[in-house]
Structure 1
Amino acid sequence: MDQSKQKDIETKQLLAKYDREFATRVKLKKAHWVIIVIGVALTIFHLYTAYRGVYPSQIQGPIHLGTALALIFLLYPAKKDWVHRPGVPWYDVLLALLGVFTNYYIVFNYERIVTKAIILGFNTMDLIVATLGIILLLEATRRAVGLPIVIVASLFLLYGLYGQNIPIISHKGFTWDQLSTEMFFKTNAIFGIPIQVSSQYIYLFLFFGVLLVKTDIGKFFNDLAFALTGRFTGGTAKAAVSASALQGMVTGSSVANTVGSGSFTIPMMKRAGFKPEFAAAAEASASTGGQIMPPIMGAAAFIMAEYTGVPYSEIIVIAIIPALLYFSGVFFGVHFEAKKRGILGVSKKELPSIKGILKKIDLILPLVVIVGMLLSGRTPTYAALWAIGTAFVISLFRKETRMSFMKTIETFAEGAKTALPVIAACGTAGIVVGIVTVTGLGGKIAGGIIELSQNNFFLILFFTMLAAILLGMGLPTTANYVVTASMAAPAILTAFPDIPVIAVHMFVFYFGIVADITPPVCLAAYAGAGIAGGNPMRSGVKAFQLAIAAFIIPYIFVAQPKLLLQDGATFMTVAPIFITAMLGMGAISAALMGYLSKNTNIVERILLIVAGVLLVYPNTWYAIGGLALVIGVYVFQRFFKKENEAVQA
């Protein structure tokens, strides 16, 4: 077995260990070709509807979800430990067929369901199909995403059935007949906004990311990052951060990005002198930030566009400054750690040639197309379709990027496989949204948060943050955003209606993402530690320190929406806030890493943290005070403090 294949196997094993989404069957036998045919068909369906126009939601959604359920039951075993068992058992084939039947039942009975059934009521067969469809969706989600989201959705279903008996948040109550048909046949639950967005936009962007990886266009980003930053202090870690930011623009998965980029960058960081835990943390924090990096961001950003009414083309512009602040914070942390340990850059001869990279600059054209079309007002569907076509054409011009016929077929099938966990999560999150809608739970939760916080601005934000992080420890980002946007975000908007809607939704979005690097459940950091051979929990704590900006920035842009280019923001009003926030990130990073111009003691760390908070708070006099503190600590270290003998741990 050659080295590249062995590395690919090890990568897949690591992904399966830390992320349920990648725990698929290894020995499919004859089912392999069945899965390829279904996967290719699903991708062609989405490309076709992107070109010709999507079907009504109760046709597009069931085809999207039903085909995905078939693939999930064929690919994902009932138990994670069974991935190495040969073939697909008969009962999973049966479940795959039932998944198709229950969803396509809506397609073939579309006219009756959307007209007569809604007015005259559903028949016995409808009730059987709805019940079976919900059960199959929950089981498929358990296999492809994990148990926590299924538990959450099940609790909401129980609330829908028995909520009339619960004090404070009671509702009128529903029978199972009412609830099951409401969840499965209407457009405000399983086939609501999450699955509609998944079928129209998310699938195409995920396929676009797969295409870039399969054609090795993605490797261009790695080479570019190393060429630009590799020669500076701590160059390997800075290059890893830059590469993950660039890769994250087109992948949008914390764990997958950590393992994909980390298998290359983490060993390099270790060889340069970084500790295993820090190498894992640097990769994990940068990879997690990929979901907030325009132009593609994570899947939840597309749903945000539907929830807020803000076009996706505007969201990618709004997200630029927060993303820059986030990655600046990680970059500062890496820099101070490298200075503290005396880790220099990589020699020029070991880095990719800038001249060689410029010869391949056309490889960035697919991203130029996608950004250009979005900013020109084209729909995300249209932009993704053109970007996919551009990437495919560009790949034909070089031997190393050109795909054979079989590789093209595999890429189409891989696009479907990559989308399966997102599709399942969107469908199950739709159950939560449906229950919140029909029971009025969202308003009750919002009222409870306001009452608990006594209408205090920062307490409401804090409780919302906790909800997003706690949910994010068990739910994928997309489902987490859907739940918190339905339940917690309204509390902020109810108490403080002057805050722009997009600022509140970005707040929720950010904290759902950083759960991947928040101890004790920090899957991206655990995956990085698996590559680095470091302690998982220490890696998680380090990642938390490096990504501290993500825990501060959302508070800033809610308090000062100009950072999101809201409230009549201009260059003159945004620039000072951005600069002081950047300096604040640097001060806090220096404190957490224990180094400014020399190693810091506890007093200096406290002063730097205070300075950082003052700098990021949108107030001119606070910022001046924070800057004075930073300058004071720096001058003291530079001119009055002797260098410590030993490097602190």
Structure 2
Amino acid sequence: MTTTKHDRQPLASAPANDHLLVHGVDEEPVEANRRLFQRGLLLAVTVLTIAYSAFHLYTLNISPLETWSFRIVHVCGALVLGYLLFSGSGFAEEGSTGPRWTSAASALLLVPAMYALVQTGRMYLMVREGAMRLPVDLETWHFGWPLLVATGLGIVVSWFHKRGRSVFSWPDLVLAISAITVASYFLVVYNTPMRMTTGTSFAPVGISFAAFAGSVLIMEMTRRLAGLALVIITVIFLGYVFAGPYLPGFLSYPGLSVQRFFSQVYTDAGVLGPTTAVSSTYIILFIIFAAFLQASKVGDYFVNFAFAAAGRSRGGPAKVSIFASGLMGMINGTSAGNVVSTGSLTIPLMKKVGYRKQTAGAIEAAASTGGQIMPPIMGAGAFIMAEITGIPYTEIAIAAVIPAILYFASVYFMVDLEAAKTGMRGMRADELPSLKRLARQCYLFAPILILIVALFLGYSVIRAGTLAMVSAVVVSWLSPNKMGIRSILKALGLSGIMSVQIIVVCACAGIIVGVISLTGVGARFSSMLLGVAETSQLLALIFAMGISVLLGMGMPTTAAYAVAASVVAPGLVQLGIDPLTAHFFVFYFAVVSAITPPVALASYAAAGISGANAMETSVASFRIGLAAFIVPFMFFYNGALLMEAGVLEIARALVTATIGVYLLSCAVQGWFLRQHAMGMVRLMLLASAMMMIAGGLITDIGGIALALAAFFLQKRLAGAPMATQP
């Protein structure tokens, strides 16, 4: 998804009376296909976005709705906002009006769209009067087919409809009405005993019509916001539903009829299942929390604090990127989005101090991706993992600590060695904000600390997130960026816009999860994985890694993990791997798919900012984040890396694994003991790193011995005096 950015000042020195280096990191990037309404339209859409966020806060904290009804409204609201705000075909050039026939076609399509919506009102009255079944003719000819006509043709017309960026889109109004119609039908039917008939021959035929239209609307909005990758994967899975009986081998299954499948896909087995359960509770709540942090300018503070703390060290902006992107990335839930928000500030500064443009982009991509595995929030992955596995959230957050340390330590070592190898400088003191002055504002970290403390005191995630949100407002009153009613409303409106993409992506992933659960392909994949494991368990893990990365390529982190957890994780559990370990294994590879060539969304976003070749940037980011591809294998061999051991064993695993990722960084960068490492030394360092990361006592001793041998060999070959790397 291409974005444009508000004006920012990453390179200009701050005025004398201003101790900040950068401004505007909290400003939300504006997507290239987002409409920018004015006057009355802007006011109307703003009211809708505020109402959408306020609805979730009210429902989650004060007056809960019935679960399915809440999730239906949740998905419907995101679709309506999405179709009102995001164009499906770009915008007309200035002075051009685009093809005129699309407006006329849209006016015609409003008729079946409104007609189908009116029929849901008729159905509601019938149910209120005690009807146990709805007339088939009413559901088919007066509701189903008009809805499909309006939806299908509305999408096609929207592909050709181009108007100015501030102009309302009539085809998308048709699609928004269709989304409301789908939701209205499900709200009517799912609050009656007819809900129990889904998946049987007794299910009302209207469910299949509404589910098909809803699925198409979700996929089209996913295309607009996240690109074609997830849509193509979804279409392939949907094709499997009906082609499966004709496929050979383990892919074959008895088959499902169109009506039986679509009568279940819009239930808690699919769209309304685990992914939407998480997006409608934890994800939306933390998006609102992130919007409140942005409104109070905490993001600016994070980045400036990082500059003040690390900017003077060699390659300083790269280290700032690691720190700032890790903090921001754990909150915003998307690697590519984090690259756009912080990378527009850090990438130009990295280039300024000497990093090549592809390296600068790669560092930002790797750091932003790491934010998704950084506790306590971990993007949204921790919440989805808790929902799927039933493991308490706090246990997942604790288990994520050491892997996150190893990942960020590895990236830090990589950029430090790169800076040392190329002789880079840090930034001058007069180029940086004052650490002393920023330290006086350390209270701005309070919302994050309150969130962590509340979670570990046993508060629910929703209650802890709400407390943190309120604390962000209170803390802002102590800063220059005080939040009043207008700022709070602006934050609610911003969160409504920010939430659309991830909600729709979760709903689309729910379709795939529905296919997996209803066809049983996940169980057959698990059987195949068990067969591979009979030959070699390590080979089975490598195979599972490949599938997780492949499924995640081009997909946002949340969707990537949800799909991989449905396909791969059950097979790993059947291998005898602990469920927490299995899901962490899958989660890490779903996350790092964002920096894995050839389809690396985070790397591509960074390349767009740095001006480097996208493929070169993705290869460089893969190299910088290499530890993330190795550490998950160690979960299987050493539970201490996930806090599943005694204190001393955990401490030893942390120390030796950290040394291991440092040696791995030296081997990859070819820099050891302040000088270039010879080929044999690099191989020895690589072997030593693998042994140290493994974590066993014998392998640790062997790794230390091999590292010492590499040390003395490097000293002898280079003829340099004995030295230690600072």
CA distance in 2, matches of 1:115, 1:135: 22
How many residues matched? Answer: 626
Change in Cα spacing, 1:202 to 1:83, as seen in structure 2 (3 Å) is farther
Spell out, residue by residue over 1:455-510, the C-alpha distance to the aligned partner (whole angstroms, 9 max, x if none).
52111111111111112212221111111111111111112x2x220111011111
Q: CA deviation at 1:523?
A: 2.2
CA distance in 1, matches of 2:66, 2:201: 22
SS in 2 for 1:474: coil
Q: 1:179 aligns with which of 256, 261, 269?
A: 261
SS in 1 for 2:482: coil
Q: 1:570 aligns with which of 643, 646, 659?
A: 646
CA distance in 2, matches of 1:429, 1:8: 38
Q: CA deviation at 1:366?
A: 0.6
Change in Cα spacing, 1:131 to 1:521, as seen in structure 2 (3 Å) is closer
Q: CA deviation at 1:527?
A: 2.1
CA distance in 1, matches of 2:222, 2:586: 23
Residue 629 of structure 2 corresponds to which residue in structure 1? 551
Q: CA deviation at 1:454?
A: 3.5
User: Is 2:590 aligned against 1:580?
Assistant: no
Letter in 1 for 2:37: L
Q: CA deviation at 1:325?
A: 0.3
User: Is 2:311 aligned against 1:230?
Assistant: yes
Relative to the length of structure 2, the TM-score reads 0.82
Change in Cα spacing, 1:89 to 1:582, as seen in structure 2 (3 Å) is same
Contact 1:277/1:535, CA 8 A, preserved across alignment: yes
Q: 2:296 aligns with which of 211, 215, 218?
A: 215
Q: CA deviation at 1:50?
A: 2.0
Map 1:619-630; keep pairs closer than 5 Å. 619-630=696-707
Q: CA deviation at 1:117?
A: 4.6
Residue 473 of structure 1 corresponds to which residue in structure 2? 553
Deviates more, 1:383-392 or 1:402-411: 402-411
CA distance in 2, matches of 1:578, 1:65: 42
Residue 669 of structure 2 corresponds to which residue in structure 1? 593
User: Is 2:281 aligned against 1:200?
Assistant: yes
Relative to the length of structure 1, the TM-score reads 0.91
User: Is 2:49 aligned against 1:39?
Assistant: yes
Residue 92 of structure 1 corresponds to which residue in structure 2? 172
Contact 1:95/1:136, CA 8 A, preserved across alignment: yes
Contact 2:244/2:253, CA 8 A, preserved across alignment: yes
Residue 248 of structure 2 corresponds to which residue in structure 1? 167
Spell out, residue by residue over 1:332-384, the C-alpha distance to the aligned partner (whole angstroms, 9 max, x if none).
10111111112233333433323212211111111111101111111111111
Q: 2:512 aligns with which of 428, 432, 438?
A: 432
Larger radius of gyration: 2
Residue 612 of structure 1 corresponds to which residue in structure 2? 689
User: Is 2:605 aligned against 1:527?
Assistant: yes
Unmatched runs of 5 consecutive residues or more in structure 1: 10-18, 644-649
Spell out, residue by residue over 1:288-317, the C-alpha distance to the aligned partner (whole angstroms, 9 max, x if none).
100001111122321110111111122111
Map 1:147-166; keep pairs closer than 5 Å. 147-166=228-247
Q: 2:530 aligns with which of 432, 438, 450?
A: 450
Letter in 2 for 1:587: L
Map 1:231-630; keep pairs closer than 5 Å. 231-399=312-480, 401-403=481-483, 405-495=485-575, 497=576, 499-566=577-644, 569-597=645-673, 598-630=675-707
Change in Cα spacing, 1:398 to 1:329, as seen in structure 2 (3 Å) is same
Contact 2:207/2:262, CA 8 A, preserved across alignment: no
Deviates more, 1:530-539 or 1:367-376: 530-539
CA RMSD of aligned residues (A): 2.4
Contact 1:493/1:501, CA 8 A, preserved across alignment: yes
CA distance in 2, matches of 1:116, 1:620: 56
Contact 1:259/1:527, CA 8 A, preserved across alignment: yes
CA distance in 2, matches of 1:632, 1:343: 29
Q: CA deviation at 1:445?
A: 1.0
Spell out, residue by residue over 1:94-116, the C-alpha distance to the aligned partner (whole angstroms, 9 max, x if none).
10111122113222443215656
Contact 1:76/1:83, CA 8 A, preserved across alignment: no
CA distance in 2, matches of 1:113, 1:480: 35
CA distance in 1, matches of 2:711, 2:434: 36
Change in Cα spacing, 1:346 to 1:22, as seen in structure 2 (3 Å) is same
Contact 2:681/2:714, CA 8 A, preserved across alignment: no
Map 1:2-21; keep pairs closer than 5 Å. 5-7=6-8
Letter in 2 for 1:301: A
Deviates more, 1:135-144 or 1:543-552: 135-144
Runs of 4+ in 1 over 6 A off after TM superposition: none
CA distance in 2, matches of 1:135, 1:580: 51
Deviates more, 1:215-224 or 1:59-68: 215-224
User: Is 2:61 aligned against 1:51?
Assistant: yes
Contact 1:57/1:191, CA 8 A, preserved across alignment: no
CA distance in 1, matches of 2:325, 2:672: 25
The sequence identity of aligned pairs, in percent, is 35
Contact 2:361/2:606, CA 8 A, preserved across alignment: yes
Change in Cα spacing, 1:410 to 1:640, as seen in structure 2 (3 Å) is same
SS in 2 for 1:398: coil
Change in Cα spacing, 1:114 to 1:550, as seen in structure 2 (3 Å) is farther
Contact 1:514/1:550, CA 8 A, preserved across alignment: yes
CA distance in 1, matches of 2:241, 2:566: 16
Q: CA deviation at 1:5?
A: 4.3
Deviates more, 1:110-119 or 1:617-626: 110-119
Letter in 2 for 1:626: G
CA distance in 1, matches of 2:290, 2:524: 40
Q: 1:25 aligns with which of 24, 34, 38?
A: 34
CA distance in 2, matches of 1:425, 1:101: 21
CA distance in 1, matches of 2:304, 2:483: 21
Q: CA deviation at 1:123?
A: 2.8
